Amino acid sequence: MPDEEAERFSPQKTEAGTPEGISGDPYIIRYPGIVAVADENGSAVELVEFFDCIGGAMWSKHHYIQSPVVRSVRNCGPTMRYLLNPGRADLDLQGSRFPAGICGAAVDGDEIEISYVGIGGGGVGAASCRSFAGGVTRCRTDPAGGGRKAGSTVWLPRRQRVLIGVDDTDTPEEGATWTLTHNIARAVEDEASRYLSHTIVQLFPVPYRTKNCVSIVCEFASSEPTVLVDRYRRLLERYTLSRDTGMAVFTGFDPSPLLPFGRMVKRGEVMRDLIPEVNRGSLDLILEGRGIIGAVAALPFYTSYEEALSLWTGSS
């Protein structure tokens, strides 16, 4: 590259302090973060990629689903989520048709290993862009760019899914549960516990509601669930305005056993003695005010926004 062209890619400052040019390698888009959660026996992995470039993320979603390692993929806010089968596969890469994919996933003790491969620009995404992502503890990567085939293997901390359900933190005069829960989630997030999602769940409008009758579930990927839950509880107790606050926690890969209960609470008034026990994962009732019913009901609806937000009646 001629010197005068190279200058365009050097970060410069205007008089107002605004950067000009590109900081770093102009052909690498660094993923802001990648995290992974595994089920109890390591038979399923959810890979969560926070993206900066939506075009690149949608391109990956379109092509990566072709890999036999990938069970499903969905876009969830600023993340792309891949449900993976642990194992390895030789991908028959072809330009335009199948230019990149996830070729391996493994759960090994406290680590999750993910391997990517691609050709051309797909190789840049598979190798350089993900190797430099936040959350990667170590990596092995190939030189990428041009028409080359390139790949990488990244190692991530093995994390657990932690769902925190909350209901009834406000009063008729002040407060809002959806804002408080999000702000607490942001406050407790750290390297060990990444805040992944926030879902508002519409419940059946019981007579003693504040106004809209919703509960909240905040999702985390955590390697220190006990620490996370304790920090969240302490802040919730500090800032709640209600004596009826409920806080429930599900720690595990799949909270779907709680769906029948959650749907009951969306359809009508439910008593707390119907709160179920779960066989997979663990359900803990942390704050047991009247809001505990809505707190538990919110848990299985994490990231299922359409169903969570729908208003049901007793006859629906």
pLDDT at residue number 175: 85
CATH number at residue 179: 3.30.70.2200
Q: Is residue 299 part of a domain?
A: yes
- pTM across the whole model: 0.91
Residue 133 included in any domain: yes
Q: Are 195 and 280 within one domain?
A: yes
Instruction: Identify whether 8 is part of a domain.
Output: no
Q: Are residues 172 and 304 in the same domain?
A: yes
Whether the CB-CB separation of 105 and 4 falls below 8 Å is answered with: no
Final residue belonging to a domain, choices 104, 139, 158? 158
d(CA 291, CA 226): 22
In this prediction, residue 4 carries a pLDDT of 38
> Do 107 and 196 fall into the same domain?
no
182 with 298, same domain: the answer is yes
Q: What is the pLDDT of residue 225?
A: 98
Q: Tokens 């999702």 correspond to what residue?
A: 219
Verify that 142 and 224 share a domain, yes or no: no
Kindly give the parts of the chain with pLDDT less than 50.
1-17, 314-316
256 in the same domain as 142: no
Task: Judge whether 16 lies within some domain.
Answer: no
| Element spanning 55, H or E | helix 54-64
Rounded Cα distance, 199 and 169, in Å: 16
Please check whether residues 132 and 178 belong to one and the same domain. Answer: no
How far, in Å, are 73, 89, 258 from residue 101 at the CA level? 12, 10, 34
Number of domains in the chain: 2
Residues 236 and 301 in one domain: yes
CA distance 31 to 269: 44
- Distance in angstroms (rounded) separating the CA atoms of residues 37 and 58: 22
pLDDT for position 53: 97
Is 95:120 a contact under the CB 8 Å cutoff?
yes
Task: Tell me if 102 is assigned to some domain.
Answer: yes
- Same domain, yes or no: 173 and 291: yes
Q: Which of 52, 35, 30, 31 is nearest to 219 (CA)?
A: 35
Supply the pLDDT for residue 207.
65
Regarding whether 188 and 298 lie in a shared domain, the answer is yes
Boundary of a domain, candidates 132, 158, 184: 158
Q: Quick check: is 10 in a domain?
A: no
pLDDT tens string 36-64: 999 999 999 999 999 999 999 999 999 99
140 and 270 within one domain:
no
Domain that residue 185 falls in: 168-309
Q: Give the residue from 123, 158, 193 where a domain finishes.
A: 158
Residue 141: Cβ within 10 Å count: 18
The confidence score (pLDDT) of residue 15 equals 46
pLDDT attached to residue 87? 98
pLDDT at 196: 98
- Residue 121 inside a domain? The answer is yes
- Does residue 218 sit within a domain? yes
3-class secondary structure, 119: strand
Same domain? 181 vs 208: yes
The model's pLDDT over 121-138, given as tens digits with 9 standing for 90+, comes to 999 999 999 998 999 999
Quote the distance between the C-alpha of residue 152 and its chain's center. 22
